[in-house]
Amino acid sequence: MTSSPTPTAAVYGAPPRELAERERAAVQVSPLVPGAAALEDFAPGSLSEVVMLAPPGTVERRYAVALALRALAPGAALTVMAPKDRGGSRLKKELEAFGCAVDETAKRHHRICVAERPAAPVGLDGAVADGAPRRVEALQLWSQPGVFSWDRIDPGTALLLKQLPALAGKGADLGCGVGVLARAVLAAPGVTRLDLIDNDRRAVDAARRNIDDPRAAIAWADATGDAVPLEGLDFVVMNPPFHDGGTEDKALGQRFIQRAHQALRKGGTLWLVANMHLPYEPILTPLFAKVERRADGGGGYKVFEARK
């Protein structure tokens, strides 16, 4: 006689420990944590508990909560929290719409909702379908709600695309998203290899569908880390993020610049777009032998070409 597998506890993201306890052995399931398990892959009834720091976007949040409810065993605990101004004020109603009885508290600017998975939740299939990967006709690319600029080319990337020359040799796209920049780079026949790196599994999965080119190597990893060895590159392109968990973090983009500098050969070139207010010049200037603005002020963005 074969015994049923023991249900697993899961954690989504990094819920503050002072707001909710979770099992030490809980499996990480956030798509923004490289190497995490995919919540989509858990069988119904296979989770004993989920503690979630909910995503800020409505469609993305309902998708994640619906996946959690689908994977939880009936009666298992679901704890979902979010800052009040990033979806927290909507959590209780959204959970109730799925058929949950909810106990809501507030602490440290968060709303914390605790519920048990009902025997027959409602609306899960619709929420999962709304947040699922799809081909976006406006882009002619695959994408998914929750990915950066998931259904349009953001203005910064559009400006960088106008400035990019035909590149050559081996390079990298740090924070590649669904592959918009990479497709343009790979249109140049002189490119011999392009590493695409992003910490968002959903973006990486989309990029793999969008780019069918043997010169491309696509990795789910922290673009500022060394999980993907990069050295001696001829070029790096990037539109680096400057938010971490919804909070502006100027140091994040600076770490992208430092990683690009480490990866480039002497004489290699970084092409970078950034919002006008971001203080990247103080880190670019001492690191690179030559830094030039190739576009300035277009839609509130600036483009740099920096040569090592």
134-307 CATH fold: Rossmann fold (3.40.50)
Condensed to tens digits (0 to 9), the pLDDT of residues 39-73 reads 999 999 999 999 999 999 999 999 999 999 999 99
pLDDT band with cut points at 50, 70 and 90 for residue 247: low
Question: What stretches of the chain adopt beta strand conformation (E)?
Answer: 8-12, 27-28, 47-53, 72-83, 102-107, 110-116, 134-136, 141-143, 169-174, 191-198, 216-220, 233-238, 243-244, 247-248, 264-275, 290-298, 301-307
Is the per-residue pLDDT at 290 higher than 50?
Answer: yes
Using CA atoms, how far apart are residues 18 and 108, in angstroms rounded to an integer?
Answer: 9
Percentage above 70 pLDDT, the chain: 95
Is the per-residue pLDDT at 11 higher than 50?
Answer: yes
State the average pLDDT for the chain: 93
Domain ranges of the chain: 8-131, 134-307
Segment 26-43 shows an average pLDDT of 97
Question: Yes or no: is domain 8-131 CATH 3.40.50.150?
Answer: yes
pLDDT of 277 reads 86
Which tokens belong to 9? 């506890």
pLDDT of 4 reads 41
CA dihedral over 112, 65, 198, 183, signed as positive or negative: negative
The DSSP-derived string for 230-293 is: --SEEEEEE----EETTEE-HHHHHHHHHHHHHHEEEEEEEEEEEETTS--HHHHHHH-SEEEE
Is the per-residue pLDDT at 255 higher than 80?
Answer: yes
Provide the 3-class DSSP secondary structure of residue 151. coil
Q: Which residue has the tokens 């503690």?
A: 51
Is the per-residue pLDDT at 299 higher than 90?
Answer: no
Q: Do domains 8-131 and 134-307 have the same CATH topology?
A: yes
pLDDT of 3 reads 38
